[in-house]
Structure 1
């Protein structure tokens, strides 16, 4: 039975999926905009650092005031409204909540939220892919131990890429490459929240109108988010990543099957079975017509003459050899699609993308020369950006391991770091008391002891 029919059945039986949302910012608000239009789904509770801001966002997306209840989760469950408060622990502990949607965008806090939700028997849809990028394999393991489902969020590009990869493999196609698009030029790696809108293609007035966060959008632009999302995809699908980081080959949609071939066959890849990001800009800055900037893609191989003849007979667009074909979705709808993941975990017990290995990592890299005493400000900020690395290379970096970007928030630099240099653990004084730090170090120790488990 389709997910939608199952939701209709749950609605008719008065047994909606009961959802708890942590974080009602832009992504969370987009999900909330769809909930009143989705049968069989009830957001029973929202936890946010600012309940007042959460209520303003609810009003912005069209929720009438009478849908919002401030007293308790129990009262909201009785009358079908939504409790809005600041107590995330009460939300994840409530026995009636089926699925927790982690939507804070704060990787350190997201780890706490996910692990507590697992401990209380809740499925988790993790929108905060920054947390998945530095400890997703460990989160997946803990969820499995707790007997619940942990998943990436549909609507965000990693889950959509995982869906395309799963389609390909289920149909019997070898996956040559998969990834997303991006507007990229090398100097974007040094972009800051002050320069982001000009590079991104929005005016400051447009950004203000949309309530857009310059630091968050700068993390998209400067390469951090593409690296984070590519790491999540590699760890969920088993695909490998470029040995020196993402290379952003420029290509139109028509040229993706040509570019995403191995170098030995005239393409751009080190080898088959890779994650990569396609740039929507030529190296000289010219925009490429019909780009994949906001979309996702997978390139597959027709291994036999018969399959390649089928590509030709059905007018499938391939590379010149006829061997490689790319399927793509040109757009993703961000939080508007999260309900698909919620339904999948609650009704089918299936993730829409979850780490199965540790193939990739994202290491904090200096945007400029950094001096002792400076504070790192994480992805999208003024000090560091995220560089995609094979997990083995990150673990071995300078004999101590690279500093994961997800932990490079409010961390003091203790020795000079040159622009373009990846940071290691000893370059910073990090808070070792957080659960996120402990989880990461436990994961490193486990995979270092059993490197075969990376794949």
Structure 2
């Protein structure tokens, strides 16, 4: 049997995981149990009972789980070799933390955890894209100033795409577009004419005649979009992830709402070509998301990531087309892609890279802002809160805009804030429109925004 290597460190990396009782936390904890070089010793989540149940399900003996309520109790539990499941930050024993993996998804709390970790000399792996979109630039700058590492977590689409971009650029390509598939495929059954998107089923028999791009790809995309118009295909999470990718790559949205074509993977090189060659892209280096159209029995793109590059020698790329690679019909473009993101299963790669100082991740800058555009007229006193699986905010739509557009409020800085004055439908919410925004996160955002791009 081929097995993981034996320990290479004199002591394992001690991981503090915040937002532990979620899907990401579970996948990371499961994987860490396979790796002798790192271990999750402190797990923070308000639902301590849920964390405890999860640990038991993962095979952790009940006697090895502690639920301390003070930092002193946590220290005692760790000294006894137990895992500490704790409800809040005041019970963290920071002296026993080498690495924070932040996965709360909540700006105020997550920023405080990350900032405190850096103050206490711990590296940070940021899984919470919401925090990254607001304060990631400032947190990364603080980490550098302290000789620490602050990295997006492998396994989530932003870090995977940043890693793919690094590989693509190292190979010598120019990138025309980069992005990912949306979280849920459009599973179309030609036999019934139905489309299933994560359990939501609609009738869309017209798709049966739209499975190929045909001679007019733009007309085909419009017809596909009409066929599935009853489905909500975009999500704030998608916009946030592409904004994070922008911070690290300099990529920008071609249009603020992104294109979201309904597409099949073998079409990507044609669809994300430049407009002069029949594609969607009006500015190179564009970030975008597509909805994968999949037939029964076909593999998923699995929320994976892609980069569209300009090709070179036609003979070379015809050879590669013959081996199954995705090349545009005119041969000018190719899609290089990884059809996966494995969540916490990949994150140990980032943990090791942070501790060892081997990451090649570029310094982030606020190249774009994940902003909030009012869907309808918003009255003074309107309060905002993040809700649901995709962390949406009612009343506003997420958009990706240029940071030079003015004092624009980042989308997730609205969480917990209220409007001090009316905002007209179609307008971007500005910082001056808000009261009660998290002060520390706001200061971090302003600090990051001030850094040269």
Q: Mark the CA change 1:305 to 1:431 in structure 2 (over 3 Å): closer, same or farther.
A: closer
Structure showing the higher helix proportion among its residues: 1
Deviation at 1:59, TM superposition (A): 2.5
Task: Select 1:18's aligned residue among 8, 14, 20.
Answer: 14
Displacement after TM superposition at 1:45 (Å):
1.3
Contact 2:413-2:437 within 8 A present in 1 as well: no
Alignment pair present for 1:415 and 2:421: yes
* TM-score for both structures, normalised by structure 1: 0.80
> Following the alignment from structure 2 to structure 1, what is the Cα–Cα distance between the partners of residues 363 and 425?
31
The Cα shift of 1:292 comes to 3.6
Query: CA RMSD, aligned part only?
Result: 3.1
SS in 2 for 1:30: helix
Q: Does 1:389 align with 2:389?
A: no
Distance in 1 (CA, whole Å) between partners of 2:57 and 2:159 is 27
Q: Is the 8 A contact 1:123 1:345 kept in 2?
A: yes
Q: Describe the superposition over 1:302-360 as per-residue Cα deviations: whole angstroms up to 9, x where unpaired.
A: 23456535534645330012232212222322233322221221234426x56432211
Task: Kindly indicate whether residue 33 of structure 2 is the aligned counterpart of residue 33 of structure 1.
Answer: no
List aligned pairs for 1:317-328, cutoff 5 A.
317-328=326-337
Q: How does 1:349-360 map to 2 (within 5 A)?
A: 349-350=358-359, 353=361, 355-360=363-368
Separation (CA, whole Å) in 1 of partners of 2:352 and 2:183: 32
Q: Specify the alignment match of 1:257 in structure 2.
A: 269
Asked if 1:366 is matched to 2:378, the reply is: no
CA distance in 1, matches of 2:142, 2:103: 19
Where 2:337 maps in the other structure, the secondary structure is strand
| Consecutive unaligned residues in structure 1, runs of 5 or more | 186-197, 204-219, 448-452
Structure 1 residues 222 and 250: alpha-carbon distance in aligned structure 2, compared to 1, 3 A threshold: closer
Moved more, 367-376 or 21-30: 367-376
Q: Is the 8 A contact 1:279 1:293 kept in 2?
A: no
Q: Judging changes above 3 Å, is the alpha-carbon distance between structure 1 residues 356 and 35 closer, same or farther for their aligned structure 2 residues? A: same
CA contact (8 A) 1:135 1:439 kept: yes
Give the CA deviation at 1:290: 6.1
* 3-state SS of 1:376 partner: coil
1:177 counterpart = 2:174: no
Within 2, Cα distance between the matches of 1:413 and 1:288? Answer: 49
Counterparts of 2:337 and 2:436, CA distance in 1:
41
- 2:120 matched to 1:123? no
Match of 1:334 in 2: 343
Match of 1:435 in 2: 440
Task: Spell out the pairing of 1:43-442 with structure 2 (5 A cutoff).
Answer: 43-70=40-67, 72-89=73-90, 91=92, 93-94=94-95, 96-182=96-182, 201-202=198-199, 222-280=234-292, 292=301, 294-305=303-314, 307-308=316-317, 310-312=319-321, 314-350=323-359, 353=361, 355-378=363-386, 379-393=391-405, 396=406, 401-431=407-437, 434-442=439-447
Output the CA distance in 1 between the equivalents of 2:111 and 2:93.
13
CA contact (8 A) 2:133 2:370 kept: yes
Deviates more, 1:99-108 or 1:414-423: 414-423
Shift of the 182–438 alpha-carbon distance from structure 1 to 2, 3 Å rule, reads: same
Q: Residues 90 and 145 from structure 1, CA distance in 2 versus in 1: closer, same or farther, beyond 3 angstroms?
A: farther
Deviation at 1:237, TM superposition (A): 1.5
Taking the aligned partners of 1:240 and 1:57, their CA distance within structure 2 comes to 39
CA distance 1:199–1:32, change in 2 (3 Å): same
Question: Does the Cα contact within 8 Å between 2:184 and 2:198 map onto a contact in 1?
Answer: no
Segment drifting more, 146-155 vs 63-72 = 63-72
Aligned match of 1:9: 8
Q: Is this contact kept in 2: 1:367–1:383, CA < 8 A? A: yes
**SS at the partner of 1:321?**
coil
Distance change in 2, residues 1:46/1:364 (3 Å): same
The normalised TM-score by structure 2 is 0.80
Matches of 1:317 and 1:253, distance apart in 2:
8
1:12-32 per-position Cα deviation (integer Å, ceiling 9, x unaligned): x4x111111122121212211
SS of the equivalent of 2:176 reads strand
Distance 1:428 1:199 in 2: 39
Cα separation, partners in 2 of 1:425 and 1:165, compared to 1, 3 Å: same
Q: Any conservation in 2 of the 1:24–1:57 contact (CA below 8 Å)?
A: no
Whole-Å separation in 1 of the counterparts to 2:197 and 2:184: 10
Q: How far did residue 202 of structure 1 move?
A: 3.2
Alpha-carbon shift at residue 200 of structure 1 (Å): 5.3
